[in-house]
Amino acid sequence: MSPAPDLDIRGLVKRFGRFTAVEDVTFTVPEGSFFSILGPSGCGKTTLMRMIAGFSRPDSGDILIKGNSTIGLPPNRVAANMVFQHLALFPTMSVAENIGYGLRRRGHSKSEIAERVERMLERVDLAGSGPKQINQLSGGQKQRVAIARCLVLEPALLLLDEPLGALDLKLREQMKVELKQLQAKLGTTFVYITHDQSEALVMSDQVAVMNAGRFEQIGTPQDLYYRPLTAFVAGFVGNSNRWRGTVSAVGAQTRYAAEGGFELIGQAVSGLSVGQPVDLFLRPEAITLSRGTDPEAAAANALVGNVQSLLFDGGNSMAIVAPDRGGGSITVALPQTGDLADLTPGEPVRLSWSAEQVTGFAAASAA
Amino acid sequence: MRNELLRTAAVSAVLVATMAVFSAAQAAELRLLTWSGYAPDDVVAQFEAETGIDVEVTFSNNEEMISKLRATRGAGFDLAQPSQDRIEGPQVEFEIYKPIDLSQIDTSLFIPSLLEATKGNTTVDGQVYGVPHVWGTSGLVVDRANAGDVADYGDLCNGSHAGKVSMRLKRPVLIGFAFSMGMDPFAAYSDPAEYEQILNKVAESLIACKADVKAFWEGGDQLISSISTGEVTAAMAWDTGGWKLNNENPDVTFVAPSSGALGWVDSFVLPARGENDEAAYKWINFVMQPEIAAKITGAAGNFTASQGADAFVSDTLKAQFNDSFPQEAIDNINWYPPVPAGLEDLEGRVLDRIRASG
Amino acid sequence: MSVAALPSEGAGRAGLRLSLILLLAPALLWLGLLIILPHIQLLALSLKVKLGPRLYETGLTNYTEFFAESIYWSTLIRTAFISIAATALTLLIAFPVAYYIAKMIRGRRKNLLFVLALLPFWVSELIRTLGWIIILRETGLISLGLQWLGLIDQPVELLGNDAAILVGLVYTSMLFMVVPLVTVLDSLDDTLVEAGYDLGGNGFAVLREIIIPHAMPGIVAGCIIVFMLTLGNILTPALLGGKNSLWFTDQIFQKFIVRFNWEQGAAFGFLLLIVSSLVVWIGLKITRQSLASTMT
């Protein structure tokens, strides 16, 4: 028998009155992995997290940590510790007292606590900061103290509730890398919730995308990005050009008539029938942009238009192109190499893409 | 810059002065410092209608009146009503009153014996400082159905009513018990050493009695409610309290103690820095008219020094008075002589000792 | 300090200082006229020793008499101890109430409860105390209720003892403890409490290590207010206290009003001021708070 996973969630449901916050969520997190739950605010991810930590009790379903159910246990007896969104460091205690808090609760001797706290501080590169007050620390240092405060207890599971949310952009980028490295170094299982797809994609081994109380898809970051299973995932993870449309033909390839009057050709998708309304996605970086109007402009999965505007953002620069045929604007990733570097607004361009890059999902029935 | 500062100071000074002027009395006003019941609304209204003088009444008691006048060196009021035994001492010590011009007062309105006695008791350096107004007594309020045997102060402590007796821990209790124990504290007023000896004996007996005392009452309402609920069956108190209770329960009434009720006379005095003596004299002459005096007796429950006012007093009150005071009890009243300066402090220590004991 | 060091500095600084003085003038005047000046007068009065009518000398007799007469100093000690006990009891009762109002409920019910805590203060202290008399007296509600239930067969007197004084004082002081506590607990981040539990703390540990340290300024502020109010209270001990009950403010009142001995009353007033300042100072030292931190 393989060892029990660190976290095993089975059919979890939580309702508040008539509102269902978490609806039949099931997943497992293997030992030592970095697992993220990604979703927009209000999707139920915080409720889910609070149930795992023991702060609220599910209406049905089970939570097992290392094979033991935690249902009914108070938060101080659940073998998971939590890094709060605003860190919740105790302002009336020094850094060392913050980190030693959990150890004191367990009744360790003073000398042992001091020793373990100091070792923990070293591991998060804060050696010697023990006597400092919390308000003397920088944002990143506070982050590390919050994590150290949990990890010193050697929990089976570390829960992180959007801990980077309060940091400025630069520090957030840096902390992403740091957190990932820290997790790899320590080997503790991290369950990380966020609404920031970049955080989830960069750090995680596995990501669950959550929407309206349900898990839409669980997979590696690559799975979610390249092989989204639902329209929500396709739209939420990464940037996409998005159209409404209908299925115009099925077969070896699926043909779609997009709103605005142009045709998209995608791979065969089972379960779609002619005339069915669909949502269509095409990633900006999957589109090839070339200068000038080609005589083959009318070819499949290609169109001509004019550059409407250029959004320079270094490596993430984009061009917005208005197709001649109408149908709104299309965002195209702009490689900063070669002759496209001096593209100017108003220039005629040609766009093309392969059928593999076009993804279509049946639209929600009412739409 | 310095000018600016000076100006600020000047403005402040003007402000303070203005406030002082506004708070001072208006000419046609009588500021009366008296006991509750001594200036009933209808009497005040009638006086204002007849004289055009506004009356501003402040209710108080002996100690507060003296303290207030002492704090302002006799200012703030035009007429005050301390008891006649509290005029000479405070006057000697604090100079808070001014002499009364008896020619301004219609002395024919007064019962002559009371007027003469009060004049005698309030004379300092040959000048008269007080004339009498309302008189009454302290003695015993007894529920005759349950404590009919209580006839003197000392009987409160005879043990047969343990836990059901009450008294006010103030100077009258010391004096009453001294009389009850066969001593004469008034005669010892002039001899502090002897007076202290008397007080020590009284304290000893009161401390022994303390276990029997249910509570030392503070306010009249408190005493009346504990007697009407039956929590207390005998107490040392004022006569009016007993008569008030008698209206509801015929068993309860005021009993003049066999060693003598303690008689007091609340009088009229002019505060040293009063501003409207004319109005004060008018008020005295007004309230001493028999019909008006009877109204005050109706409100306060005590009789006045007004000659002939008895004719206008209600029959109930007269009956209650006669029931409590047969002629020999009236003759037996121990009238408070003037309290010499400094006596209160001596008594205060004894009272403290009694309270702290046990 | 350096007001005299003006000449060496620029005229601008001088102007600034003058405007500062003018700005502070009303407060200083208020402080001077209403607080400092009367206290100086009181101090002078307390040093006057009465020899006879209108005859005084300067001396410490008024103070030495306080120590010579055991009733005086034992009353002061007793008053201070009961006040400390009342303060502690008020804190003990007010803390859960304040915690409930600040943390356990939200919105309209929170306001309602807060108003409910305020409600007793819409009637005068006298009426409130009389209410307690009606409840506690021998023929009062509790005595009658217990008899009716058959728990006692004799009326029971609950009035006129130190416990009754404590009840009255605690009730009177409640609001002054609840308000600063609610304010300080309101500012406690809920996630700190959750973090306290999450890291293995039980309710007691969270209370001791997180909630109380956070609430300390409010606790100290509330305790100072309640202690001062209780120490200075005169009505409640007089009405609810028994025949043995002496209260120091009542002694001061007696000295001033009944016995016309202002000199000793002033001395007693100063002694009370010294003792209350001393107790507050010791309290601040023990809790390691400063007066400034509790007032912000």
Query: What ipTM goes with this model?
Result: 0.80
List the single range of A298-307, B129-138, C118-127 with lowest mean pLDDT.
A298-307
pLDDT band for position C227 (cuts 50, 70, 90): very high
**Is C28 a residue whose pLDDT tops 80?**
yes
- Rounded to 10 degrees, what is the CA torsion of C54, C59, C60, C66? -20
Chains A and B: 3 or more CB pairs within 8 Å of each other: no
Look up residue A270 and give its two tokens.
């089972």
pLDDT at B125: 93
Task: Tell me which chain C residue has its CA closest to the CA of residue A55.
Answer: C194
Residues on chain B touching C261 (C-beta within 8 angstroms) = 344-345, 348
CA distance B301 to B237: 14
Q: Does C69 touch chain A (CB under 8 A)?
A: no
CA distance B48 to B287: 12
CA distance A182 to A194: 18
List the single range of A251-260, A358-367, B296-305 with lowest mean pLDDT.
A358-367
pLDDT band for position B187 (cuts 50, 70, 90): very high
Which residues share a beta bridge with B271? B97
| Residue found under tokens 């050493």 | B193
Which 185-224 residues of chain C touch chain A by CB within 8 A? Answer: 189, 191-192, 194-202, 205, 209-210, 213-214, 216
**Is B183 a residue whose pLDDT tops 90?**
yes
Of residues C291 and B91, more confidence is placed in: B91
Residues 6+ apart with CB under 8 A from B328: none
Of residues A365 and C289, more confidence is placed in: C289
Rg (CA), chain A: 25
Say yes or no for a CB contact (<8 Å) between C243 and B216: yes
As a whole number, mean pLDDT of residues A344-359 equals 86
* CATH number for the segment(s) A7-233: 3.40.50.300
Chains C and B: 3 or more CB pairs within 8 Å of each other: yes
Burial class (CB in 10 A: 0-12, 13-18, 19+), C110: middle
What is the DSSP pairing of strand A60-65 with strand A7-16?
antiparallel
Domain A240-362 annotated CATH 2.30.30.280: no
CA distance A335 to A318: 8
Look up residue B32 and give its two tokens.
């009366």
- Total Cβ atoms within 10 A of residue A317: 17
- Amino acid identity, position A223: D
Nearest-CB residue to A106 (from C191, C200, C209): C200
Planar angle of CA C50, C52, C55, nearest 5 degrees: 70
Nearest-CB residue to C210 (from A81, A90, A106): A90
Nearest to C157 by CA among C145, C139, C171, C170: C139
Which residues share a beta bridge with A7? A29, A65
Planar angle of CA C242, C247, C251, nearest 5 degrees: 120
pLDDT at C11: 56
Residues on chain C touching B355 (C-beta within 8 angstroms) = 243-246
List the single range of A329-333, B148-152, B290-294 with lowest mean pLDDT.
A329-333
Residues 6+ apart with CB under 8 A from C131: none
pLDDT at A298: 54
Instruction: Identify from C28, C243, C246 which residue to disrupt to test chain B contact, counting B C-beta atoms within 10 A and taking the largest count.
Output: C243
Handedness of CA B200, B205, B206, B210 (dihedral sign): positive
**Is B24 a residue whose pLDDT tops 60?**
no
Say yes or no for a CB contact (<8 Å) between C243 and B1: no
- Amino acid identity, position A174: Q
3-class SS string, B228-289: HCCCCCEEEEEHHHHHHHHHHCCCEEEECCCCCCEEEEEEEEEECCCCCHHHHHHHHHHHCC
Within chain A, which residue ranges are assigned CATH 3.40.50.300?
7-233
Q: What is the pLDDT of residues C157-208, one digit of tens each?
A: 888 888 999 999 999 899 899 999 999 999 999 999 999 999 999 999 999 9
CA distance C287 to C184: 16
Domains of chain B: 2-135+264-324 (3.40.190.10), 137-263+334-356 (3.40.190.10)
| Greatest alpha-carbon span in chain C | 87
Nearest to C99 by CA among C208, C207, C220, C197: C207
How many CB contacts within 8 angstroms connect chain B with chain C?
87
Within chain A, which residue ranges are assigned CATH 2.40.50.140?
240-362
- Amino acid identity, position C178: V
Burial class (CB in 10 A: 0-12, 13-18, 19+), C67: exposed
pLDDT at B1: 43
CA distance A39 to A196: 8
pLDDT band for position B134 (cuts 50, 70, 90): very high
Domain C63-295 annotated CATH 1.10.3720.10: yes
**Is C9 a residue whose pLDDT tops 50?**
no
Q: Say if residues B72 and B273 touch (Cβ distance below 8 Å).
A: yes
